[in-house]
Homo-oligomer: A and B are copies of this chain.
Amino acid sequence: MNISAAAQAAGLPVKTVRYYADIGLVEAPSRSDAGYRTYDEASVRKLAFIRRSREFGFSIDECRELLSLYQDQDRTSAEVKRIASKRLSEIEEKQRELQSLRDELAHLVTSCHGDHRPDCPIIDYLG
């Protein structure tokens, strides 16, 4: 499989697939005689694993960790759960932040007439 087929199968851009090998997140793939990268099912599965982890918002370093747990038959589920729980609290923290931000901004937007007059509570609040 050439890189574009692998990228397609994993649901990633070609550039990103190269990038992940460059930074050592995945092994460097073997090459054809012409120097083309060649991929097999196993590498595609790993790439897809990374894509899904990234979609969950895990950082590259967390993906590195998850990937090594993914490939380690003897890991404990506790190790995985620790990383996922950490990410979960981050998400919840971010949610709380966004909620108060939204409420405040929604309040400002509602109180602004949004007409041709210069009078603006949003600007007043920021200034």
Interface residues of chain A, those whose CB is within 8 Å of chain B, are 45, 49, 52-53, 56-57, 66, 69-70, 73-78, 80-82, 84-85, 87-88, 91-92, 94-95, 98-99, 101-102, 104-106, 108-109, 112-120, 122-123, 125-127
Contact residue among B73, B85, B105, B126 (Cβ-Cβ distance under 8 Å from A49): B126
Contacts of A106 in B (CB 8 A): 88
Which partner residue on chain B sits nearest A73 by CB separation? B118
Contacts of A94 in B (CB 8 A): 98
Which partner residue on chain B sits nearest A102 by CB separation? B91
Taken together, the copies of this chain in the complex come to 2
How far is the CB of A89 from the nearest CB of chain B, in Å?
A: 10
Query: A70 touching B118 by the CB < 8 A rule?
Result: no
Chain A interface main SS type: helix
How far is the CB of A57 from the nearest CB of chain B, in Å?
A: 7
CA distance A94 to B94 in the complex (A): 10
CA distance A90 to B77 in the complex (A): 36
Query: B80 touching A112 by the CB < 8 A rule?
Result: yes
What are 9 A-B pairs at a CB distance below 8 A? A73-B118, A74-B118, A75-B123, A77-B113, A81-B109, A88-B102, A88-B106, A88-B109, A92-B102
